[in-house]
Chains A and B, each alone.
Chain A
């Protein structure tokens, strides 16, 4: 009885449809990466002068060596699946406010020439083929806006 009464009496107040737009600074290096992606379908990394590690996306400082980086490296648009999963649960994408369509493939991809991974979508939900070590290639959007999702997804090759 008490429980039923509680359900009627205990209120929650909804926030309504929140809309709070931001403008995030991408900086020189991030902007250069996005321009190259948009205009030339090229993927850029950056090499640390001390430890030689190639980071993607490019950033100014190698955290480990704590030195500035300025040597851009053109990366392949092909690479290897470093780790992967097939997402089957639906959740609200905070960037769009709508539920992501499931299932979809998601992976950390080590592009040829890079030492860190790009996290991105893969257009496969077949666990027999979509697995660690599989080779993939970037598929670019026809109309690119200067965003990481100008890479539409990666596809198995």
Chain B
């Protein structure tokens, strides 16, 4: 079964639209220094490094080597991971496997991206099949708009339902000093009124129907780093280690047109398996907080149904009933989520780190009030592939 593994430290940079004051290596270094400080470790304590980003965004193809001075990887074993939107969660999974194998005790996981350095949509398109798809693909925004169109048509979902998710994410981000988007103007305005504003304002530009600017994630420069430690040392390093209760991932489709958009089948399958492995029978009751890779608003409705938090078509009810708000039964994305910061290669690892902070009760102004026994984390990428991880307060038996 392997060693038990916990997250014992986390660090991240503040999300910004452009960090011209640092190059990629320097940005990475900021996150690593913060993570080491959080775990009260030095780089000498680290046995191996896993690092990830999406090469296309910066046009640098040998990041594992290029970044060693910033990552702390000089003369250490390094793995580089690049899996699209899931990169950060796959980095976390890889760091977990490194430690669970018994080969390493303390592994540094790093995710980063400087999206300001290229055209994000153009770069995303290069992650798809060059012969069959690139000539007509419209990047992530168009692909997600397709999914929204299908979901809205099948279940009679409205633009207001989507906007309600956007409002939640942006209100939560106001509590997170690391979030990229801080929409201060939203403060003090009732939720219903904010939703109305988002679906009627001309300033809220339509990008690809039904997705407006407010329905999408931003493009962000940021880095994150987390330290994964084995059961032999974890309890010495953190007062409350965030234990990896389970993790798994799923890939299904090769081409975008193959994707079955009726349901998010990869997320559903991965979540089901991860809950089983963690011993979770009633996800809505047993999970204390979620940090989900929701790249756009309607994912916060449809995918919630696929995770098993409610029946098909009832995502909107769950969200309108405030279940997923900060003080709800299942707070979703206290950090503000992907819709408030999306430094692509770091995004999944930020979900893991934020979930760990909630378990450790170190999330500061964005800490949920309720006790968190389990935190649920997802990563999402390209042709609907899915990473999931469950962190727990109790050491797994």
Binding site for B on A (CB under 8 A): 6, 10, 12, 15, 22, 24, 26, 30, 55-57, 59, 63, 82-89, 91-95, 100, 106-108, 116-121, 127, 131-133, 147-149
Contact = CB atoms under 8 A, between A and B. Distances in A.
Given A82-B261, A83-B149, A119 B209 contact: no
B208 interface: yes
B146 A84 contact: yes
B343 to A, nearest CB: 17
A8 B196 CA distance: 41
Nearest to A57: B132
Contacts of B207: 87-89
A87 B126 CA distance: 18
Q: How large is the interface on B (under 10, 10 to 19, 20 to 34, 35 or more residues)?
A: 35 or more
Interface of B: 20-21, 59, 117, 119, 121-123, 125-126, 130-139, 141-142, 145-150, 153, 205-211, 252, 254-259, 261
Q: Which of B125, B258, B259, B261 has the most CB of A within 10 A?
A: B258
Contact of A148 (B59, B131, B259): B131
Given A15-B59, A91-B119, A94-B126, A85 B136 contact: no
B153 A89 contact: no
A83 B153 CA distance: 9
A6 B21 contact: yes
26 contacts: A6-B21, A10-B21, A30-B131, A30-B132, A57-B132, A83-B146, A83-B149, A83-B150, A85-B148, A85-B209, A87-B145, A88-B208, A91-B119, A91-B138, A91-B139, A92-B119, A93-B122, A94-B123, A95-B135, A106-B208, A116-B255, A120-B136, A132-B153, A147-B135, A148-B131, A148-B136
A91 B143 CA distance: 14
A88 B135 contact: no
Most buried by B among A22, A63, A86: A86
A82 B150 contact: yes
Which 5 A-B pairs have CB atoms at the shortest separation, nearest pair first?
A85-B145, A91-B121, A83-B146, A117-B257, A132-B153
Nearest to A95: B134
Contacts of A147: 135
B135 A133 contact: no
Nearest to B18: A12
Contacts of B119: 91-92
A127 B150 contact: no
A133 B152 CA distance: 13
A41 B357 CA distance: 58
Given A30-B131, A83-B150, 13 more contacts: A6-B21, A12-B20, A63-B252, A83-B147, A84-B146, A84-B149, A85-B209, A86-B209, A106-B136, A108-B256, A119-B136, A131-B153, A148-B136
